[in-house]
């Protein structure tokens, strides 16, 4: 499944018309220990760039931006009891929410893994 990255350090893995969204390992490292994740409501309609999710850490609260427009179909309920999954497994088990893509064309211009790695190396 293809995975895309934003300059705000979100990732989206696409399977058909469903995208699973999370934050990158780089982002969780910058935040420090995650203490709480405020997830969006299932059924919420998002526009690309909306901030449907907040990740609280010992350092700060940080908005997570929707990398694409669409409707939230699922949230990672495990984060309610184990928000630290975002730290320990940010790019698999620490996913945040799933969305049905409204416009797959919004993925155009997003970074692939190699481009994201180069972007982070330049920070």
> What are the pLDDT digits (tens) for 25-51?
999 999 999 999 999 999 999 999 999
Question: Where does residue 95 rank: exposed (0-12), middle (13-18), buried (19+ CB within 10 A)?
Answer: buried
Q: What is the pLDDT of residue 33?
A: 97
Q: What is the pLDDT of residue 112?
A: 97
Domain spans of the chain? 3-103+113-121
2-21 mean pLDDT: 97
pTM over 0.85: yes
Angle at 73 between CA 69 and CA 77, to 5 degrees: 120
Q: What is the pLDDT of residue 72?
A: 98
Domain 3-103+113-121, CATH 3.40.50.2300 — does that match?
no
Could you read off the pLDDT of 70-106 as tens digits, one per residue?
999 999 999 999 999 999 999 999 999 999 999 999 9
């Amino acid at each position: 499944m293809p995975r895309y990255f934003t300059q705000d350090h979100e990732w989206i893995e696409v399977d058909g018309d469903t995208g699973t969204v999370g934050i990158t390992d780089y982002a969780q490292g910058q935040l420090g220990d995650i203490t709480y994740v405020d997830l969006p409501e299932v059924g919420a309609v998002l526009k690309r760039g909306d901030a449907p999710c907040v990740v609280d850490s010992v350092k700060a609260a940080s908005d997570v931006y929707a990398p694409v427009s669409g409707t939230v179909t699922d949230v990672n309920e495990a984060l309610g009891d184990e928000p630290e999954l975002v730290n320990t497994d940010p790019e698999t088990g620490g996913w945040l929410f799933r969305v049905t893509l409204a416009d797959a064309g919004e993925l155009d211009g997003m970074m692939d893994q190699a481009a994201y790695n180069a972007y982070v190396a330049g920070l």
